[in-house]
C-alpha cells in the first residue's frame, strides 16, 4: 500500500519515493513466504488438498494466486533496465498493482489467518475485514485526482509523470 501511495505522499513524506521500489519488490517477496508455507506445511505439496477446503477458502486461494500472479511480473520488471526496455508499456504493466491490491484484500478477507479466516463472521473478524477494506479504499481514493479535488487538496496532488518524462531510478 505504501508503494502505491508513495508518489502521492511525496510532498508530505519525500523519503517514500526513495524507497518505493524496495517497498514494491518486498511486498512481492513477502507474499511468497505464506504461499510456500501453506503449500509445504498445510498441503504437503499436494494441490488436491484445495478440494477439501471450504468454498470460502477456495475462492480466497484463487484471489491470492491471482494477486501473486499479477505481482510477479511487476517485481521482475522493477529494474531500470526493464523500465528502459519496456518504455511506455512499463507504467501500464505496473498499473496491475492496483488489481493485485484488491485481490490481496479479497484473499486476506476470505482466507486470512486466525484473526480473519474464521467461519463465523462476528466481532474481531468483522472489524479486521472492515479495516482491510477501508485501507484498500483509502489507497484507491488517495490515488484518485478527483478525491484530492473534492477535498480541496489539489495543490498537494502529485500527478504521475508521462512515459517521456519518467527516467529510471
For the residues of 36-50, what is the DSSP string, one character each? HHIIIIISTT-GGGG
- Whole-model pTM over 0.85: no
Listed by start position, the domains of the chain span 2-156
pLDDT of res. 167: 46
Q: Are 97 and 70 in contact (CB under 8 A)?
A: yes
| Whole-number Cα distances in Å, 3 to 12, 14, 20, 35, 46 | 15, 13, 5, 21, 34
Write out the chain's pLDDT in tens, 169 residues. Answer: 888 888 888 888 888 888 888 988 998 888 888 888 888 877 778 878 878 887 888 888 899 999 999 999 999 999 999 989 998 898 889 889 999 999 999 988 888 655 454 556 667 777 888 888 999 999 998 888 888 888 888 887 787 775 445 544 4
**Residue in this structure with the C-alpha cell 519518467, named with its chain if needed:** 166
Query: How does DSSP classify residue 28?
Result: H
pLDDT of res. 168: 47
**Cβ atoms within 10 Å, residue 16:** 17
Q: What is the pLDDT of residues 104-146, one digit of tens each?
A: 999 888 886 554 545 566 677 778 888 889 999 999 988 888 8
pLDDT of res. 41: 78
Amino acid at each position: 500500500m505504501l508503494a502505491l501511495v508513495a508518489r502521492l505522499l511525496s510532498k508530505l513524506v519525500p523519503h517514500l519515493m526513495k524507497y518505493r521500489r524496495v517497498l514494491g519488490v518486498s511486498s512481492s517477496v513477502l507474499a511468497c513466504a505464506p504461499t510456500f508455507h501453506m503449500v509445504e506445511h498445510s498441503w504437503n505439496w499436494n494441490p488436491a488438498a484445495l478440494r477439501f477446503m471450504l468454498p470460502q477458502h477456495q475462492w480466497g486461494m484463487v484471489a491470492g494466486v491471482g494477486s501473486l500472479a499479477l505481482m510477479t511480473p511487476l517485481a521482475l520488471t522493477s529494474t531500470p533496465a526493464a523500465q528502459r526496455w519496456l518504455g511506455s508499456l512499463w507504467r501500464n504493466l505496473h498499473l496491475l498493482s492496483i488489481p493485485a491490491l484488491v485481490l490481496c484484500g479479497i484473499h486476506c478477507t476470505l482466507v486470512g489467518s486466525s484473526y480473519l479466516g474464521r467461519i463465523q463472521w462476528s466481532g474481531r473478524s468483522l472489524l479486521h475485514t472492515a479495516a482491510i477494506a477501508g485501507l484498500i479504499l483509502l489507497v484507491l481514493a488517495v490515488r484518485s485526482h478527483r478525491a484530492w479535488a473534492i477535498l480541496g487538496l489539489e495543490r498537494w496532488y502529485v500527478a504521475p509523470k508521462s512515459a517521456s518524462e519518467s527516467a529510471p531510478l
